């Protein structure tokens, strides 16, 4: 029996993507060759890379708007470093909304001054800082759009002369935004886009070339851009599977359709958390994430009973992160509403038994 997979990432992808990727491992495009044994310089793989980049820009509404899409390696953690290496000459502003922002700040400090624009560390990051002021001498402003660990999500993005740099690893392609507000967007694939092993980077023309340091080739966005993500051998399988997922999203109706599904899933679960006296939400109500719903039992004596229900119900990956505890339902694009309904039913079953 198929499990309901709420894993925070790597996470569920569309079932059709698993099937297509599985077939391509044996025979890709009727070539008689596996997708993982072909040259990345073959026309078949170049077509995959081109389609992945085009789909990413198209789905984000950025086609023809002066952006380049890259598929790199190293995850968001490598981007913490690359963003600073390529963009930080003097001072950058970082909004600290949790562990991932914190790591980004740590790496950026190796390259210049970091101004913390705001922080929600005082309440273990259960809210998004607001109303902070932005000086006008920043090289860029760095944000984390969604915070998987705490279940918070940015709704408003600051306006500034400085380019906005955003880590969208855990909510890219999940909701409509004006993506043309951003100078640099990056996202590890392993939430809404594909398997772990590739990172989407979206760069606006004109934001590079403003730092004076020498940049090693593999850390230099302009090198990767000039080689269309083929400066060296790209992670072929991860990019292929990301392309399949982006195709699936386009067929679903794009980000608008995904957002509608995601809202329905989030509403269903948050409504139950707020109604059911055995549970309480972790994140501040106005900053609740549609992707990662964090919640706790109001009384921990029900923990064993609820965990047993989850196990019997074939629910996978609902444990909260160790720094928050309780539960976390990660409900990325590919998760069906039936899986959320199943968790809600188990919460109600616990209530009846308690």
Q: How far is the CB of 142 from its own copies (least distance, A)?
A: 15
Q: How far apart are CA 49 and CA 146, in angstroms?
A: 27
When binding is defined by CB under 8 A, the residue of 54, 73, 276, 348 that contacts its own copies is 73
Beta bridge partners, 328, equal 294
Task: With beta carbons less than 8 A apart as the criterion, state whether 287 and 211 touch.
Answer: no
Count the neighbouring beta carbons within 10 Å of the beta carbon of residue 64: 8
Q: How far apart are CA 277 and CA 302, in angstroms?
A: 12
Q: How far apart are CA 99 and CA 127, in angstroms?
A: 13
Per rule CB under 8 A, is residue 33 in the interface with its own copies?
A: yes
Residue 250's closest CA among 19, 11, 58, 17?
58
Q: How far apart are CA 145 and CA 255, in angstroms?
A: 16
Bridge-based pairing of strands 146-147 and 141-144 is unpaired
HSE-up of 287 (CA within 13 Å, CB side)? 22
Per rule CB under 8 A, is residue 26 in the interface with its own copies?
A: yes
Q: Which of 68, 100, 139, 265 is catalytic?
A: 100
Residue 23 known to be catalytic: no
Per rule CB under 8 A, is residue 61 in the interface with its own copies?
A: no
Closer by beta carbon to its own copies, 106 or else 353? 106
When binding is defined by CB under 8 A, the residue of 32, 64, 131, 277 that contacts its own copies is 32
Closer by beta carbon to its own copies, 8 or else 95? 8
When binding is defined by CB under 8 A, the residue of 98, 158, 195, 254 that contacts its own copies is 195
Contact string (CB under 8 A) for its own copies, positions 196-215, x = contact: xxx---------------x-
Q: How far apart are CA 332 and CA 336, in angstroms?
A: 9
Bridge-based pairing of strands 315-316 and 4-5 is parallel
For the chain, list the strands marked E by DSSP: 4-5, 67-72, 91-96, 113-119, 141-144, 146-147, 152-153, 164-167, 182-188, 199-204, 279-281, 292-297, 315-316, 327-330
Per rule CB under 8 A, is residue 216 in the interface with its own copies?
A: yes
Which among 15-23, 144-152, 278-286, 288-296 is the span making contact with its own copies, rule CB under 8 A?
15-23
Q: Kindly give, in sequence order, each residue whose CB lies less than 8 Å from that of residue 192, ignoring residues fewer than 6 positions away.
A: 170, 171, 172, 173, 174, 245, 249, 258, 332, 333, 334
Closer by beta carbon to its own copies, 10 or else 61? 10
Per rule CB under 8 A, is residue 22 in the interface with its own copies?
A: yes
When binding is defined by CB under 8 A, the residue of 29, 124, 180, 217 that contacts its own copies is 217
Q: Which of 68, 191, 204, 265 is catalytic?
A: 191
Which among 127-135, 216-224, 259-267, 292-300 is the span making contact with its own copies, rule CB under 8 A?
216-224
Q: Which of 167, 204, 265, 287 is catalytic?
A: 167
Q: 10: cis peptide before it, omega within 30°?
A: yes
Q: How far is the CB of 136 from its own copies (least distance, A)?
A: 28
When binding is defined by CB under 8 A, the residue of 8, 59, 114, 309 that contacts its own copies is 8
Catalytic residues, by residue number, are 100, 167, 191
Q: Which residues bind its own copies (CB under 8 A)?
A: 1-3, 5, 7-13, 18-19, 21-23, 25-26, 31-34, 36-40, 73-78, 80-81, 103, 106-107, 110, 188, 190, 194-198, 214, 216-219, 231-238, 241, 314, 316-317
């Amino acid at each position: 029996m198929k499990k309901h997979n709420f894993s925070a990432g790597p996470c569920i992808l569309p079932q059709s993507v698993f099937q297509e990727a599985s077939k391509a491992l044996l025979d890709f495009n009727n070539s008689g060759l596996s997708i993982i044994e072909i040259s990345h310089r073959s026309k078949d793989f170049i077509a995959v890379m081109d389609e992945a980049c085009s789909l990413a820009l198209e789905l984000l509404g950025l086609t023809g708007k002066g952006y380049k899409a890259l598929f790199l390696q190293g995850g968001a953690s490598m981007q913490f470093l690359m963003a600073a290496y390529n963009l930080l000459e003097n001072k950058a502003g970082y909004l600290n909304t949790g562990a991932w922002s914190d790591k980004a700040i740590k790496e950026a400090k190796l390259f210049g001054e970091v101004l913390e624009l705001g922080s929600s560390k005082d309440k273990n990051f259960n809210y998004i800082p607001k109303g902070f002021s932005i000086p006008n001498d920043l090289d860029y402003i760095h944000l984390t759009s969604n915070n998987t660990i705490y279940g918070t999500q940015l709704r408003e993005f600051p306006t500034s002369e400085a380019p906005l740099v955003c880590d969208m690893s855990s909510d890219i392609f999940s909701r409509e935004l004006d993506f043309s507000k951003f100078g640099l967007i990056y996202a590890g694939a392993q939430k809404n886009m594909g398997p772990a092993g590739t990172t989407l980077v979206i760069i606006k023309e004109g934001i590079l070339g403003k730092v004076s340091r020498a940049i090693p080739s593999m850390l230099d966005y302009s090198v990767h851009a000039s080689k269309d993500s083929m400066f060296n051998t790209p992670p072929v399988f991860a990019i292929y599977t990301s392309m399949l997922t982006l195709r699936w999203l386009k067929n679903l109706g794009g980000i608008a359709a995904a957002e509608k599904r995601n809202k329905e899933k989030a509403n269903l679960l948050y409504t139950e958390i707020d109604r059911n006296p055995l549970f309480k939400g972790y994140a501040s109500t106005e900053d609740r994430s549609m992707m990662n719903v964090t919640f706790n039992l109001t009384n921990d004596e029900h923990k064993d009973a609820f965990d047993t229900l989850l196990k019997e119900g074939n629910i996978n990956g609902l444990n909260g992160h160790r720094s928050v505890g309780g539960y976390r339902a990660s409900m990325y694009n590919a998760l069906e509403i039936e899986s959320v309904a199943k968790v809600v039913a188990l919460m109600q079953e616990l209530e009846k038994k308690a």
